[in-house]
Amino acid sequence: MVSSASSPGTTSSARKPFYKVLYIQVLFAIVIGAVIGWQSPHLATNEWFKALGVGFIKLIKMIIGPIIFCTVVSGIAHIQDAKKVGRVGVKALIYFEVVSTFALAIGLLVGNLLRPGAGFAGKTPDAAAVAHYAKAAGETKAVDFVLHIIPDSVVGAFAKGDILQILLFSILFGFALMALGERGARVRTLVDDFAQGIFGVIGIVMKAAPFGAFGAMAYTIGKFGPTALGNLLGLIATFYLTAGLFIFVILGVIARIAGFNIFKFLAYIKDELLVVLGTSSSESALPQLMEKLQKLGCSKSVVGLVIPTGYSFNLDGTNIYMTLATLFIAQAMNVDLSLSDQLTILVVAMLTSKGASGVTGAGFITLAATLAVVNPALVPGMAIVLGIDKFMSECRALTNISGNGVAAVIVSWWENELDRGKLNAALGKAVNAGTVELQPVAGIAE
């Protein structure tokens, strides 16, 4: 007699009622939130709706520091060759710069071809509306960015949740444990066990994702609704089109070279993508993304180094936004940018996208810094896109998280530390079963 039940873990997600699947819950929450924000803006802009989204993001940020610390320290401490850490870091930075250049270039290409700002009939830019961002951009210097990576205190880095500062301390602590050898075994075990508990907290927190997505989407649509779009729909559509081209063409080709399908990969991380869509923050899915990438067969040490670093150095969505928005503003203000001006945009944006990372409103601040260098007369034009920036932040975040996820797979493959069996099984399950169920990470220390 053949049992109708399959082995444990293979059909649980398939048999799970659809209304209990996370990405279905988040999708419904986003739709309902958008409808309420559209139909009842006065209700949706209530502070409690905003609090749902902000509260969920704060819950996630609460555990980002410990997750990065545990993953990086454990990954480095279990490595026998110290040179490997530096090698992975160099490969990751090379990959980031190459792909970021493609992101900037595709923004310039599409902006020149479609010219979304040509014939713009909006209001005259109000310089006062963007004075805050222009000032912040002027105060952002490369040397300050480098010094900011070094925390005033370790406790302060964790208290502020500064990813780069936590990453620096985690790398140093990981190397220290590696140098201790067997004497550091107990601490390594403690870190691994602590990681198990943190991932358990993630599982609990993610149950609140639909509520966070609902509140954030309702508040966004209610506050910035259809009246804020006006003549700027062309820019929004162009930005989404450009981001789609980057993900499906540029990242798709890169994924194909590495031997996996970008569509299957996006299906695998669809839970995280929907959470990001609802909250407009790529950080809201960072811990869960790191967990899933390890389940996908990526090396834990690679994931621990590439993902946190990528959140400051691999902002593909922000890069596309900067070049495209710069061209839009120039076209809308009838300022002709020469080829040398546009090449300057590419070089300057490559630098400013790193210099303002970790700053509140970083996307807008980097745009101000880029405009100031290319042509200071364009800075007041930021007011043109200020009203719709929120609608483009979702796309920036989605592109950023997709790019960083692919980066971790690519660097793992480059290091010959990508488990093809896990990769093919996980991507096949994501397509066939329609979802990937996150179980406790029993193999986190593998």
Which stretches of 152-184 are DSSP H helices?
Answer: 154-160, 163-180
State residue 313's pLDDT score: 81
Average pLDDT of the segment spanning 324-329: 89
Higher-confidence residue: 103 or 121? 103
One-letter amino acid identity for 284? S
Which stretch, 212-216, 254-258, 374-378, has highest mean pLDDT? 254-258
Coil, helix or strand at residue 269:
coil
CATH code of the region 18-432: 1.10.3860.10
| Nearest partner of 280 among 41, 24, 57, judged by Cα | 57
| Distance (Å, whole) CA 261 – CA 269 | 13
Positions of E strands within 198-263 = none
- Position 121 pLDDT exceeds 60: no
Q: How far apart are CA 210 and CA 233, in angstroms?
A: 27
Cα gap 353→369, rounded to integer Å: 9
Structure confidence by residue, pLDDT tens digits, 78-94: 776 667 778 888 899 89
Q: Per-residue b/e over 101-139, b at no fewer than 16 CB within 10 Å?
A: ebbbbbbbebbeebebbeebeeeebeeeebeebbebbee
Exposed / middle / buried, residue 180 (Cβ in 10 Å: 0-12, 13-18, 19+): middle
- Give me the mean pLDDT over the 374-396 stretch: 76
pTM of the model: 0.72
Domain boundaries, the chain: 18-432
List pLDDT tens digits, range 386-427.
667 777 878 888 999 999 999 999 999 999 989 999 999 999
* Residue 229 and residue 384 in contact, taking contact as beta carbons nearer than 8 Å: no
> How many beta carbons lie within 10 A of that of residue 150, not counting itself?
11
Token pair 């923050």 in the structure block, residue: 281
